[in-house]
């Protein structure tokens, strides 16, 4: 993919986990000079440049699905292959 913005809350149907906390995002990525970032509610949480393999980003604040989480995005700037994306959730 090239310069993509992936809406994770829709892709992963997060609304079924109302009340859960999102603690981390993990993705299988092969970057080719790309930057991969995680954004929560429009704010960058972390970025990785030229990632290869699995990247795991722990969120500094744990947004609650259905209350604090308006948007959760994986943003690719440049060229990268993104495979499996998983979230770590904490039950309420």
**Average confidence (pLDDT) per 10 residues, the chain, 92 residues:** 92 94 92 88 90 84 92 93 93 90
Q: Which numeric CATH code is attached to 2-90?
A: 2.60.120
Of the candidates 63, 25, 32, 67, the residue with the CA atom closest to the CA atom of residue 46: 25
- Give me the pLDDT at residue 42, please: 95
| pTM as predicted | 0.86
- Give me the pLDDT at residue 18, please: 95
- Give me the pLDDT at residue 51, please: 74
- Give me the pLDDT at residue 39, please: 95
Phi, psi of 16 (to 5 degrees): -70, -10
Q: What is the DSSP letter of 91?
A: -
- Give me the pLDDT at residue 55, please: 85
Q: Which two tokens stand for residue 13?
A: 């149907």
């Amino acid at each position: 993919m090239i310069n993509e913005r992936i809406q994770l809350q829709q892709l992963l149907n997060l609304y079924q986990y109302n009340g859960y906390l999102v603690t981390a995002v993990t993705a299988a990525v092969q970057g080719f000079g790309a930057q991969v970032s995680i954004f929560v509610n429009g704010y960058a949480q972390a970025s990785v440049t030229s990632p290869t393999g699995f990247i795991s980003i722990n969120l500094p604040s744990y947004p609650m699905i259905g209350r604090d989480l308006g948007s959760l995005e994986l943003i690719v700037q440049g060229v990268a292959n993104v495979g499996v994306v998983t979230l770590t959730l904490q039950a309420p």
